[in-house]
Homo-oligomer: A and B are copies of this chain.
Amino acid sequence: MKKIFEDGISAEVSKINGYLYNVPELEIKENSPWEKVLEAEKYALSAGGKRIRAVMVVEFYKLFSGEISPPPQVYEAACAIEMTHTFSLIHDDMPEMDDDDTRRGKPSTHIAYGTAEALLAGDGLAILPYEIIARLSEEGKISPETAVKLISVLSKNAGNKGMIAGQTLDLWSEGRHEEIDEPFLRKMSKLKTGRMLIASCVFGAVLAGADDEKLRDAEKYAENIGLAFQIIDDILDVTSDASTLGKPIGSDKERHKPTFADLLGISGAQKEAEKLSGEAAGVLEKYPGSELLREYAVELCRRKF
């Protein structure tokens, strides 16, 4: 099972990267100074990463459509999700936010291209997903109704009351170590990390034409793995080393940001993550063919980077 699981995921990651590195809207054609922003965006998108969000789009599509080979529009929609995620990373790394000089072991976008350029590259990647989804509809690959649904899901989960609300809470929490308790941390994490995972799983379900119950289950699964993922991140931030993690370790502590590892202890946090991923897996038990997604939830808690 383990081998089949890993091979399955890595085949999808390769396919996703193939689409992500060849987004037609980012092709550099004129060799003109304005295309510098495309270059910075491609740099940020190609920094790698686990592509968890894109994999979720693809796997939920497969689960609810019953198809083994999703059509290109599913991968293009998955790229739209990765772009939104990447835009937030570019802006998060900037000096006024987390001030991180490296991301996945490479210079952050603002280090490689300059802060103003990184600001614009983030803005470009914030808008591009909507252009791509509109194009998929104009090309007849998805219906206008599906396009509107995807745009609604993405903009709500990424926007002011989703990921951006989480980032706002994160900012607010700096230097307020004493005021932060577990419920606050849960709320922040559900917004900052969880909402984009919800968007990802729901994207796959919407593209597969899933009914309301399935949409709700996709959301529940996502909410649980999102929180588990954040807790594991916090544990790795104190237990891993920089070269494995690809970013400076202990960086949260340095900025006086309390983490789940602080509030629950390492082993308490690990237990909580395992409970959440078990709940995520449980949500999908009733669906035949959900083995990979259930395994994924469990594997998340074993990751070392």
Q: Which of A54-62, A142-150, A206-214, A251-259 contacts B (4 or more CB under 8 A)?
A: A142-150
Cross-chain contact A168 with B94 (CB below 8 angstroms): no
Contacts of A1 in B (CB 8 A): none
Contacts of A147 in B (CB 8 A): 144, 147-148, 151
State whether the Cβ of A38 lies closer than 8 Å to any Cβ in chain B. yes
State whether the Cβ of A137 lies closer than 8 Å to any Cβ in chain B. yes
Report the bound CA distance from A176 to B205 in whole Å: 50
Nearest neighbor of A155 in chain B, beta-carbon distance: B131
State whether the Cβ of A124 lies closer than 8 Å to any Cβ in chain B. yes
Contacts of A156 in B (CB 8 A): 131
Contacts of A120 in B (CB 8 A): 91, 164, 167-168, 171
Report the bound CA distance from A114 to B174 in whole Å: 14
CB distance from A11 to the nearest CB of B (A): 30
Selected from B123, B128, B143, B191, the residue in CB contact (under 8 A) with A34 is: B191
Q: Count the A residues whose beta carbon is within 8 Å of the partner chain — how many?
A: 58
Report the bound CA distance from A60 to B110 in whole Å: 40
Report the bound CA distance from A162 to B233 in whole Å: 37
Contacts of A171 in B (CB 8 A): 116-117, 120
CB distance from A37 to the nearest CB of B (A): 4
Contacts of A119 in B (CB 8 A): 91, 94, 96-97, 119
Cross-chain contact A138 with B148 (CB below 8 angstroms): yes
Contacts of A151 in B (CB 8 A): 130-131, 133-134, 147, 151
CB distance from A142 to the nearest CB of B (A): 10
In addition to A25-B159, A131-B155, A147-B148, 16 A-B residue pairs with Cβ atoms within 8 Å of each other are A25-B160, A25-B161, A26-B160, A34-B166, A34-B168, A96-B119, A117-B171, A119-B119, A124-B160, A127-B158, A127-B164, A130-B130, A134-B151, A135-B152, A137-B148, A151-B151
